[in-house]
Structure 1
Amino acid sequence: KVYGADKLTGSAGDGFSVSLTPEGGKFLTNMAMHINGVVMLNGKEVDVTTLEDYLGAKAHMVVVSLADKKYLHVHPSVEGGKFDLHTTFEKPGVYRGWIQFQSKGKVYTSDFVMNVAEGNADNMKGMDMKKDEHENH
């Protein structure tokens, strides 16, 4: 299933799920993307500060382009009890993504499929982001 929607939600097992929402509502190239990540447990939001560190971070996200197999590895910051992921997509296309986090000694993985569109003046209107605002992690 390919998504290009405002929000992506994936199951991580044991009642955990993760929702990703791109700021501005679109996954676009040529700009710093801020992606809000919400972890839920049995339908209730989890304050991600309560998650254990896993390999030195609260979470890890890997995103791979299906076209050229290039990947991004992102460590989210934590803001307001949610994940704040910052990255830049260089090319439009379909990307597979995985986010991992740890709770009570167990590592959970949620996967996503994202359709990233070419960022241009028309589809960037109303988006409060700058192209060079943040470097890839």
Structure 2
Amino acid sequence: MSDRPGKASATGRYADAGTYADSDDESLVGAYAGAGLGRAGAEWSIFEAEAKAPNASAGAGASLESLSAKAFARAELGSASASAGPLKAKVGLSVDTGASISPTQIEAKVLGTGVSIGRTMGISLFCTGFEFKLW
């Protein structure tokens, strides 16, 4: 059981963008941008919940050391998600499109429909889906 303390947050309109580089893995680099009309979330112990109003985001990243790469674009009318430990469920309507690949994971989505195979197993249909983290 996790000893993570409880916290909650809510944000109205937001926009953020930037680049990142991992100081431990200098080959890990990426960029992202996103904006939305609102989001709210809460977490306590192993539990998390989040709700989002209309939003859009995009990003890409890669690591030569871990031989991984990812790219995505997302436009979402709204969503709600909840997780308990390794199990996560999400319901919403979006047009996620992107892919990621690494030695332990492969994921692909087109217009919100796709699969994830590897460390995280999952399936989604227009942003509604389930995930289970194996390790």
Higher relative contact order (CA 8 A, sep 6+): 1
> Per the shorter chain, which TM-score range?
under 0.3
TM-score by length of 2: 0.26
Q: Which has the higher helix share?
A: 1
Name whichever structure is richer in strand by fraction.
2
What TM-score results when the alignment is normalised by the length of structure 1? 0.26
